[in-house]
Structure 1
Amino acid sequence: MQIPEAAATAAADARPTGRRERKRRQVRDQLYAAALDLFVSQGYETTTMEQIAETADVARATVFNHFSQKVGFLEEWGAHRRARVAELIGSSQLGDLSTGDQLRRYLREMAELNIASRPETTILMDAAARVGSLLHDRSLEIELAKIVERGRQRGELRTGVDADQVGTMLAACYFSTVLRWIRVEPAPFDLRDRLDSALDVTLFGILDGKGEGPPPGR
């Protein structure tokens, strides 16, 4: 199975780095910053690898040494977003929070990042949905499933809940909500409130409690 460029980069970052590797990381970050600036200013499709090289002041071959395809920048962008949320959450004490509150905090931090950089999100999320691996990359659903699984192990969830399925549902909801949010200018709704509401549906369901209830053992 082919490992996405962003995942390979994350694995490389976990290893001790020497001077040569730090230099390589610096060049990669330089290319990434140049690409994002160009994507936001002139669009993803119209930006070329040659323009990225020129903006970053490196040889064209250097770009391909770090990103074999332009779509690699989209994968890197998604990895940066998730890493930033992990950093923000990691700096807080979440162990005492319920599973629902942890999921709400995670989605809220993702929403805040998108709101703070709406022009960037509009360009790159749209491109990732059309030409990238947005709908196939399981990274976000895996992170959300981890939170659900920890709650399952603590006995907070009803019997039979599949953490992976919940992670998949929440990730799909997140992406579809953000894609609707970026389609209209100005933003057609508050992203934080909409994700909160979607999470409530997942956590509490849609029945009023007067129905038959879940099947036995569920």
Structure 2
Amino acid sequence: MGSGNMLPENRLERKKRETRQKIITTALDLFRRQGFNNTTMEQIAEKTDIARKTLYNHFPVKEAIVDEYMRDISSEFAKKSMKAIRDLPDTKSRLVAALDKAYQWVEENPEFAGICLGYRMKNICRGSEDENSVTGTRSIVSEIIRLGQESGEIRRDFPVTVLATQIDILRGAVVMDWLKDMSRFELRRKMVMVTDLFLNGAANRDDSE
């Protein structure tokens, strides 16, 4: 069976998905034209032509709209990149390629990146993070780690989820630091260092010692 286990989308699910996408498209247009801080949920509801209750049923706050938008971008990137990254020769080259591509978008959209990161951090602190809502970048990093364990490049005594979380923490800290002053360093170059830190640790490996 070519369709596998996928069930057809019913009318209600399709309507919900279409409404959700319309909200995101409308909100992003308002954010870009008049600024995130100057845009209200009421304006988004009015421009989308839906009831405010409907809007809040989909998104509790406007930060959640940006988060959903970035998850869509990240998921699309992962789908397009997975095959090419699997074809690379080792774990380091795969991680460097994946993070470089992901953070090119972040460099071009720092405001949205900051809003999204802040929103996710708040959810983590409140214990309300959706564990089933994995980003595309997280999924591709997890797959790279799995391949590294399979080839013997990465230790197997820790599960993929734990190791992927370590990279999440490292890259999140770097992005927060970069957002404070984007002139201090190039984000994508720093992600190469994050890859090296994850794979080789923090020990000084100067051969002259």
Query: TM-score, normalization: structure 2?
Result: 0.74
1:49 aligned residue: 41
Distance 1:71 1:116, change over 3 A: closer
The alignment status of 1:64 with 2:52, answered yes or no, reads no
> What percent of counterpart residues are identical?
25
Q: For the residues of structure 2 that align with 1:108 and 1:193, how far apart are their CA atoms?
A: 8
Unaligned 5+ segments in structure 2 are 1-5
1:113 aligned residue: 105
Q: For the residues of structure 1 that align with 2:40 and 2:96, how far apart are their CA atoms?
A: 38
The alignment status of 1:26 with 2:26, answered yes or no, reads no
Q: For the residues of structure 2 that align with 1:182 and 1:116, how far apart are their CA atoms?
A: 12
Where 1:17 maps in the other structure, the secondary structure is: coil
1:146 aligned residue: 143
Of stretches 196-205 and 65-74 in structure 1, the one that deviates more from structure 2 is 65-74
Q: For the residues of structure 1 that align with 2:118 and 2:35, how far apart are their CA atoms?
A: 14
CA RMSD of aligned residues (A): 3.1
Where 1:195 maps in the other structure, the secondary structure is: helix
Structure 1 position 61, deviation (Å) = 2.5
Structure 1 position 114, deviation (Å) = 0.6
The alignment status of 1:178 with 2:175, answered yes or no, reads yes
Aligned residue among 165, 169, 186 for 1:168: 165
Structure 1 position 69, deviation (Å) = 4.5
1:208 aligned residue: 205
Amino acid at match of 1:156: E
Distance 1:39 1:203, change over 3 A: same
Q: Judge conservation of contact 1:75–1:132 (CA < 8 Å) in 2.
A: no
Distance 1:51 1:146, change over 3 A: same
Superposed CA deviations along residues 157-180 of structure 1, whole A, max 9, x for unmatched, are: 246455333212110111111112
Structure 1 position 47, deviation (Å) = 3.9
Q: Judge conservation of contact 1:43–1:123 (CA < 8 Å) in 2.
A: no
1:194 aligned residue: 190
Superposed CA deviations along residues 52-86 of structure 1, whole A, max 9, x for unmatched, are: 10122222222123224545324413422330221
1:213 aligned residue: none
Distance 1:59 1:90, change over 3 A: same
Q: Judge conservation of contact 1:39–1:124 (CA < 8 Å) in 2.
A: no
Q: Judge conservation of contact 1:143–1:167 (CA < 8 Å) in 2.
A: no
Q: For the residues of structure 2 that align with 1:33 and 1:16, how far apart are their CA atoms?
A: 25
Q: Judge conservation of contact 2:98–2:140 (CA < 8 Å) in 1.
A: no
What is the number of residues matched between the two proteins? 194
Query: TM-score, normalization: structure 1?
Result: 0.72
Distance 1:183 1:96, change over 3 A: closer
1:86 aligned residue: 78
